[in-house]
């Protein structure tokens, strides 16, 4: 099954896209990058999900190629059942080795299960695996900055201790997005010095690039 699947994946290879992609994912071995454009891989996943081989593939870990991991992501997103999705995530997330695969993962069923999802996020945040914790933080950003926001969320992330760049970056991304959605509530985190300086600078740079903040808000961040 895997030999046949890989033949189909390599048939979609785009060498120029491979060359473009490799520098963007420095934690991935270049030899494991096929070079498939995301729309093509998503279209393939849509059809592949209808086959019996898809279930076998989801249970075959770890994968060899970067695109196999991304295909896995797109298949998880198509699972409709919440518990099945969580089981699939818990099996797969420890094998994620780069920010792009991690950030592509956004299961649609999360929106209907935000209350119980928080229990999983709490557990993922404690993981020693960089991209398990990154997925938890990204999920907090995606799912809990509008409805079901808790003031304890930014408090917890402000206190999160890490020297890992890809975790620092996603925390900064969270606070930059939170500024755009809850400016008055989040600005004190930048004024009081509670944020780690590196994360604070990353977040301010990212927020100043946002189209969702006003000119006055960006000027205020510049002064900070």
Show me where the domains of the chain are located.
Answer: 1-112, 128-211
Mean pLDDT of the 164-192 span: 96
**What's the pLDDT at 182?**
95
pLDDT more than 90, % of the chain: 93
Q: Is the pLDDT of residue 205 over 90?
A: yes
Cβ atoms of 175 and 203 within 8 Å: the answer is yes
Q: Is the pLDDT of residue 189 over 90?
A: yes
Q: What is the pLDDT of residues 44-65, one digit of tens each?
A: 999 999 999 999 999 999 999 9
| Cα dihedral 98→104→108→112 (10° resolution) | 50
**What's the pLDDT at 214?**
92
**Orientation angle between helical segments 130-143 and 165-181, nearest 10 degrees:** 0
d(CA 18, CA 92): 24
Provide the 10 A C-beta neighbour count for residue 2: 13
Q: What is the pLDDT of residues 69-126, one digit of tens each?
A: 999 999 999 998 999 999 999 999 999 999 999 999 999 999 999 899 999 999 999 9
**Orientation angle between helical segments 183-191 and 197-208, nearest 10 degrees:** 140
The answer to pTM > 0.85 is yes
**What's the pLDDT at 80?**
85
Indicate the helix (H) or strand (E) that contains 169.
helix 165-181
**What's the pLDDT at 192?**
84
Q: Which residues, 6+ apart, have CB-to-CB distance to 19 below 8 Å? A: 35
């Amino acid at each position: 099954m895997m030999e046949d699947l890989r033949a189909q994946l390599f048939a979609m290879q785009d060498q120029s896209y491979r060359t473009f992609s490799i520098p963007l994912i420095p934690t991935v071995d270049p030899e494991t990058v096929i070079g498939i454009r995301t729309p093509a891989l998503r279209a393939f996943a849509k059809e592949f999900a209808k086959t019996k081989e898809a279930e076998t593939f989801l249970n075959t870990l770890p994968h060899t190629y970067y695109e196999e991991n991304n295909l896995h992501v797109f298949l998880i997103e198509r699972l409709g059942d919440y518990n099945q999705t969580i089981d699939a995530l818990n099996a797969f997330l420890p094998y994620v080795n780069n920010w792009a695969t991690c950030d592509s993962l956004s299961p649609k069923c999360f929106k209907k299960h935000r209350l119980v999802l928080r229990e999983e996020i709490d557990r993922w945040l404690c993981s020693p695996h960089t991209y398990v914790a990154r997925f938890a933080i990204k999920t907090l950003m995606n799912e809990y900055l509008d409805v079901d926001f808790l003031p304890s969320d930014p408090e917890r992330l402000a206190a999160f201790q890490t020297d890992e760049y890809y975790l620092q970056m996603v925390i900064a991304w969270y606070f930059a997005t939170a500024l755009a959605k809850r400016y008055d509530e989040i600005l004190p985190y930048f004024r009081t010095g509670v944020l780690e300086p590196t994360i604070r600078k990353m977040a301010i740079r990212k927020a100043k690039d946002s189209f969702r903040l006003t000119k006055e808000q960006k000027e205020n961040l510049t002064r900070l």
